[in-house]
Amino acid sequence: MFALIAPTRLRRFACALLGALLLGLGAVSVQAAVLISQVYGGGGNAGATWRNDFVELHNTGAVPVDVAGWSLQYTSAAGISWGSQKVTLAGSLPAGGYLLVQLGSGGAAGALLPAAQASGTFNMSATAGKLALLNTSVSLAALNCPSDPAIVDLVGYGTTADCFEGAARAPVPSATASVQRLGDGCQDTQHNGNDFVAGVPTPRHSASPPLVCGTAGGVVASCASFNTVQGIAGSQAMSARDVDSRVTAVTLTSTPVPGITLGALAPSAVAGATARVRVEAAASVPQGNYAVALRFDNDVGASGSCAATVSVLAPPVALTGIPAVQGSGASSPLVGSARTVRGVVTGVFPGLRGYYIQDEAGDGNSATSDGLFVFNFDQPITVEAGERVQVSGTVVEFAGQPGNPTVTELSFLTQTAKLGLGSIAPTEVNLPEVVEGDLERYEGMLVTLNGPLTVSQNFFQGRYGQVTLAAQGRLFKPTQLHRPGTPATLALADDNARRRIVLDDGQSSESLFSGAENPNPIPYIGADNTLRAGDTVASLTGVIDFGRNTSGTGVDAVVDYKIHPTVPPVFTRLNARNPTPPAVGGTHKVASFNVLNYFTTFSNGTTASGGTGAGCLPSNTTGDCRGADNAAEFARQRDKIVRAITALDADVVGLMEIQRNTGLATQNLVDGLNALLGAGTYAVVPDPATGVGTDAIQVAMIYKPGRVTRVGASMSDTAAIHNRPPLAQGFAVVGSGERFAVVVNHFKSKGCSGATGVDLDAGDGQGCFNDRRSQQAQALRSFIGTVQGPSGAGTPRVLVIGDLNAYAQEDPVDALAAGGLLANQVERFGAAADRYSFVFDGEAGSLDHALATAAAQAVVTGALHWHINTDEPSVIDYNTEFKPQDLYSASPWRSSDHDPVLIGLALGAPAQPQSITFSAPVTQVAASSVTLLASASSGLPVVFSSLTPTVCTVNANLASLLVAGTCTLLADQAGSAQFLAAPQVQVSIAVTQAPQTIAWSLPSVLPLGTAPFAAPVGASSGLVVSVASLTPAVCNASAGQVTLLAAGTCTLRATQPGDGTWAAAPDALQSFTVQPAGTGGGVAEGDVPLPAWALVLLATALGGALKRRLA
């Protein structure tokens, strides 16, 4: 073994190397102040406690240590490459402070680490490895066990580590255990085996309580004075801990006071854990102030003491119930008055600088809330959830910004008393609200919102810790689905408002001085460092609040009801990332991508080429530079955009929000793509001679010259209505020469700055400047004709793509579709739930479109959005501001705020075969119809016809079966530019005769002498029925006429032989009595019998009615 003593501190390293050899090197020095106090290498592995590996450093000394330029270097258990896995540190480590270094991850398992002060991307072994802390960033020599004087501390862990301090390695960690320095990171005998144990990984960081070693030994007790009220039992929690032992006992050492006692001790579960006990004052304790003293003892004989005062107050003159403070309206009826209330603490939120209490009984009125926020301002919060309290203060209505709606609070507190413990069961609430604003009745109350609830917006997740959720699935823009201003649009807007709730993180975004913006760590982040729109949470338990949920202020701020959770939400990833763009088929692809202000001139006046003092058009000042702030941000932005476009792999890409700087920004992007894909993969479509507009940004186009060539010069629409004119370019497929054209657009935005007159928001859901966008759409219609003409691309195949700043059912899109000029391809191919490219105010919709002329539509094989941006939280984008926790990755995710559109085209390739699937019933009766069902593998419509028109005919997809026989039907698909004609498919149906029946309608008795009459009989087929007499002596039947001959029983037989459609009917016999003339049937007195002629007429009429019914 080698034993090394670094000049900076006394240490002994052990290294198994070819044998055991002990060497003494260097001189003994004082012990270092900064130590490696915890090592965890199982981050992200299956069953891991934490998502990332980490190393914790501890300044054990009483003075700060400047660690700028220091480094943490890692290698494997038997490795020598220390410098290849290194993190360079910055800043100063305060006395007793901790520094957390976040490293790589082995997967998606485990919770996110708290905010780290340094980070690296390499992964450590979960079971064995070597770490060195150096006071320099220079890499260690490539040795198993280097003896560098810059080494401050070294840890070798696991059974195979070949370099370590002392005679033994630190123990083996795992996915659920870290190696931890004993004594809260203080013990340092320069023996890894003695100084470290394996335990539950508990990372400490800059916000963790500092611990100066040598000063924290023994039991540290903490007592808090409290008020209670005479006649009501009250209590207060006291606590103690010892960093290296368990607190196991407590004693009340002050002079006993009748009624003041200790509750049961909850001892420390492990060394360093907190023990708790409550000091309890009975209701019988008189008014007055009482001193109490406690002694806590640990399991090794040490103790610590603390003291507090219990003040028993007189009962209040008057109590006001919380429901009375809230009232039944939007604001309290008691604003400005001093009140004393009682309730149980349901949630404590230091970030809100207060806590919520709730009346245990309530008033039984569903219109009044039982909860109330208690604003503690800048005073320490001394209450805990579950404590029953009495609070005195002034009722106020708080508005986060002037002009905002208010929330009722108790503020300017004068007194707080502890009244023991209580409990509040959360009230179950279901969304949507019956009417918007229903949640006012629950303001300040503990509730459980039943779900599932779906993430609809995460834009403010990193800035304000807010996520917009919705019941019954995610929210869509009303004008994405319905025409503006219609009842359906208004109804959906109302439905969205009633389904929506904002999940907050219990931090204040209402006041700029609260210091609660940019939370660290970012709440609700899940696997892959994201929470995607479309993910769900089964339910939420927390307190209902009301306030702003955007970055707006004053009357412009969007405000809504929100919930501060008291139980951590658990999200389910239902909307998984798709790492590859959607399949759109075809031989070639066109993409549309708003790249979110891709500027090569930065807001600090520098440029991507290294220039300084630059500005941006149109003012030539940095005020018009809308993109990255500096070169570092731009590098991050470029990496994301390049990776997204590379994955799209489109032959033509239309770009929006590119800096207008004579093509420099577009060329820069192409250079980045070609550096990754190979020289010449992409080229820039030159700016047209007619200009690219007057805005700071323009539209642009790039293409793959190996796949398509430009036809003619690029063109722009010169109509004055555009300040970012559409850009058009014709293309020909390399090899076949097939032509198509692409027009890229970026219409006027919906923002209201500068809007006047007809450009103001009309309140129909389309935002500001709808009239301007509609005029731009009309101008574009004319421009399309120019593009199609001989002076343009010379092809009727035109794709219109880009950010129209109009949702699918809004006026500009409708104008472009009028008369069948353009058809929406995303609507054609995309499922309704996937037709969105942007989210605003929590509602999704398509601003980015793929429209096609009829000729272009014939070759479109697919058009879909790739959801890499709108579903992702903005906090993972390229920007570096407002990010104490930076989750950036050089990946397509959140490369922009719009999703790209990808379109497939079938060009320059032979038509593909297709087939038809067609089935029909084997048999069917005549005089019926059959709906025909068939499909072509191409998805194109199938046409039906009859090969046997005498047996059956076809109208569209309905076959009418006329007569018995064989009906032969044909199914055809003629093909298209992409598909050959399908082989004809033939099916046959055996058509059988339809059954029929015969029905009679004769009275049971007719008198002799009745005049001959038509036989009242008919067939259900409507065919003629033949009648014959079976009793010729009594009656005769000829040509359908019946003649009565003699008294007796007349029996008639009706027959119908059928035809090609109808089968022969079963014979139908009918008998009736023929009475002698002048005889009666014993008619009762008062009854007048009908004469014979009337009976015959009645029988004839009944027969006719029967025939009509049967027909």
Q: Where are the domains of the chain?
A: 3-199, 220-313, 316-424, 426-572, 589-905, 916-992, 998-1080+1087-1110
SS3 788: helix
Say what the pLDDT of residue 9 is.
29
| Angle subtended by helix axes 664-677 and 631-648, to nearest 10 | 60
First to last CA, the chain: 111
pLDDT at 604 > cutoff 90: yes
Residue 486's alpha-carbon distances to 760, 774, 843, in angstroms, are 19, 18, 18
- Over range 105-134, report the average pLDDT: 92
CATH class of 316-424: mainly beta
> What confidence tens digit (pLDDT) does each residue in 537-587 have?
999 999 999 877 665 555 556 788 999 999 999 999 999 999 999 999 999
What is the band of 245 on the pLDDT scale with cuts at 50, 70, 90? Answer: confident
Distance CA 87, CA 122 (A): 9
Does domain 220-313 bear CATH number 1.10.150.120? no
Six token digits for residue 248: 């196991």
pLDDT at 21 > cutoff 60: no
Three-state secondary structure of 726-754: CEEEEEEECCCCCEEEEEEEECCCCCCCC
783 — phi, psi (to 5°)? Answer: -65, -35
Six token digits for residue 33: 């102040």
Closest residue by Cα to residue 419 from 224, 228, 231, 225:
228
Say what the pLDDT of residue 557 is.
64
Closest residue by Cα to residue 467 from 400, 560, 356:
560
Say what the pLDDT of residue 880 is.
93
Does domain 426-572 bear CATH number 2.40.50? yes
Q: Could you give the residue ranges of the DSSP H alpha helices within 678-720?
A: none
Distance CA 835, CA 652 (A): 22
pLDDT at 5 > cutoff 60: no
> What confidence tens digit (pLDDT) does each residue in 688-724 have?
999 999 999 999 999 999 999 999 999 999 999 999 9
Does domain 916-992 bear CATH number 3.40.190.10? no
Whether the domain at 316-424 and the domain at 998-1080+1087-1110 fall into the same CATH topology: no
1015, amino acid identity: A
Identify which has the larger pLDDT, 18 or 754: 754
CATH number of the 589-905 domain = 3.60.10.10
What DSSP letter does each residue of 310-330 carry, written as one string? EEEEPPPS----HHHHH-SSS
Three-state secondary structure of 454-520: EEEECCCHHHHCCEEEEECCCEECHHHHCCCCCHHHHHHHHHHHHHEEEECCCCCCCCHHHCCCCCC
- Over range 777-804, report the average pLDDT: 97
Three-state secondary structure of 173-205: CECCEEEEEHHHHCCCCCCHHHHEEEECCCCCC
* Cβ contacts of 178 within 8 Å, gap of 6 or more: 38, 39, 40, 198, 199, 200, 201, 202
pLDDT at 90 > cutoff 90: yes
Closest residue by Cα to residue 728 from 637, 566, 853, 896:
853
Say what the pLDDT of residue 508 is.
65
- Give the domain 998-1080+1087-1110 fold: Immunoglobulin-like (2.60.40)
> What confidence tens digit (pLDDT) does each residue in 434-445 have?
999 999 999 999
Six token digits for residue 566: 């008291």
Q: Which residues pair with 254 in a beta bridge?
A: none
Say what the pLDDT of residue 1077 is.
82
- Mean pLDDT (the chain) is 90
Which helix (H) or strand (E) element contains residue 261? strand 260-262
pTM reported for the whole predicted model: 0.68
> What confidence tens digit (pLDDT) does each residue in 754-783 have?
999 999 999 999 999 999 999 999 999 999
How many percent of the chain have pLDDT more than 90?
77
Say what the pLDDT of residue 403 is.
64
Say what the pLDDT of residue 554 is.
53
Q: Which residues pair with 279 in a beta bridge?
A: 236, 262
> What confidence tens digit (pLDDT) does each residue in 848-900 have?
999 999 999 999 999 999 999 999 999 999 999 888 889 999 999 999 999 99
**Helices first, then strands: H and E counts in the chain:** 13, 69
Distance CA 746, CA 685 (A): 17
Distance CA 641, CA 769 (A): 29
SS3 339: strand
